[in-house]
């Protein structure tokens, strides 16, 4: 489970980004900050997966 956790976080963040785009009525600062935070989470999890593969 611990090995698959970054992939699960990536999928959950991607789903939240899509839902945020679909159901958001106004594109204010809060919308862009939540989208940016999800993108940064995805980037950090991709880097974590790459580092784990490099160590194995």
Domain positions in the chain are 5-55
pLDDT tens digits, one per residue of 8-44 = 999 999 999 999 889 888 888 988 998 999 999 999 9
Tell me what pLDDT residue 3 has: 77
Rounded Cα gap, residues 39 and 15, in angstroms = 11
- pTM value is 0.82
DSSP string, 1-56: -TTTHHHHHHHHHHHHHHHHHHH-S---HHHHHHHHHHHHHHHHHHHHHHHHHHH-
């Amino acid at each position: 489970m611990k090995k698959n956790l970054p992939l699960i976080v990536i999928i959950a963040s991607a789903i939240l980004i899509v839902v945020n785009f679909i159901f958001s009525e106004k594109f204010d600062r809060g919308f862009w900050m939540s989208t940016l935070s999800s993108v940064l989470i995805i980037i950090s999890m991709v880097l974590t997966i790459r580092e784990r593969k490099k160590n194995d």
